[in-house]
Amino acid sequence: MRILLITPEFFGYERAIEKALVKLGWEVDWYPHIYAPNNLYKALYRFFSFVMKPHYYRYLLSHINYSRDYDKIVIIKGEGVGEKLLIKLKSLFPKAKLIFYNWDSFKNNSISSEELSIYDKVKSFDGEDCARNKSIEHLPLFYSNEFKLDENVEADYLFFFAGTLHSNRYLDVKKIACSIKGDNESYIYFYCQSKPIFYLKKAFGKLPKDLSISEVGFVKKCKTELRNSLLKSNCVIDFAHDLQVGLTMRTIEALGMKKKIVTNNSSVVDYDFYNENNIYVLGKSKCTLDEFLLRPYSDVPDEIYERYDIDNWVLRLID
């Protein structure tokens, strides 16, 4: 059984997915969903993807193993993938089932209906996308094996946040982190894809004009550092993008590690693992944030907890 896997390179999640598939007995050939040898290319893919898709088409077809007889082709987000490439992959590997998974909102990662129609199955982490298009299957994100509770680790941080810099996230996260009085230290890391993208976001986005580049990181933190910092934290801060309602990876990882969550995403109340003792919804929860932080964590039933484990998630991804 062979899979061609095309995904973003993002905090090592692509390798976790690959490892879970291999564990199930699949042979996996992985490729990035864009080809960006430098920061300029990253910026071009982000803001001018329609121009860069022919560039990625040439890259993938010059690297792909044509002798493979793939059973499935799984594409996650697919920023560099276009209609022309999908048609070519179908012709090269006619028996392969073509699966698309969007771990972004379709509002934020626009794909034409013509392109989507080429796929055999389309799945999304965003429930609203699925409600608007009944042919799209809802598949929330996952937590990997590293993101499980270790009761031997003591909490050093009150809050944990690590995520991409976008929209109002910077101001929102800082507001929460500074809202609790005392000497509590928090782990806060804002990631941006490149310095050119940072300046473009400052010029044309919602970032504060006085935001210093020194407060932003351009290196993707390894999963080990993120895991260790999350383990040492009491509560995860989650601020979803304005254009999505799907639950972020950090929300699901907090579930895996049995950590509390403070989030602006009110759709979390519709999920089977929601518990008001564990999840504080900004503007919705009835207690204060201080009161919420003092409440003990309530365990989630095992069958619900295990549903979001990556080993079960990849089965649903490739189904």
What is the predicted pLDDT for the residue at 25? 96
Query: Tens digit of pLDDT per residue, the chain (319 long)?
Result: 999 999 998 878 899 999 999 999 999 999 999 998 887 888 888 788 888 899 999 999 999 999 999 999 999 999 999 999 999 999 999 999 999 999 987 877 778 888 999 999 999 999 988 999 999 999 999 999 888 887 777 888 999 999 888 778 888 898 898 888 777 789 999 999 888 888 888 888 778 888 889 989 998 888 788 889 999 999 999 988 777 789 988 899 999 999 999 999 999 999 999 999 999 999 999 999 999 999 999 999 999 999 999 999 999 999 9
Q: Tell me the fold of 2-139.
A: Rossmann fold (3.40.50)
Q: Which two tokens stand for residue 251?
A: 């929300």
CATH of domain 157-307: 3.40.50
Distance (Å, rounded) from C-alpha 248 to C-alpha 239?
A: 8
Q: Which residues pair with 6 in a beta bridge?
A: 31, 75
Domain range annotation of the chain: 2-139, 157-307
What is the predicted pLDDT for the residue at 151? 77
| SS3 at position 105 | coil
What is the predicted pLDDT for the residue at 204? 82
What is the predicted pLDDT for the residue at 14? 94
Is there a shared CATH topology between the 2-139 domain and the 157-307 domain?
A: yes
Q: Which residues pair with 190 in a beta bridge?
A: 163
Distance (Å, rounded) from C-alpha 306 to C-alpha 44?
A: 39
What is the predicted pLDDT for the residue at 51? 83
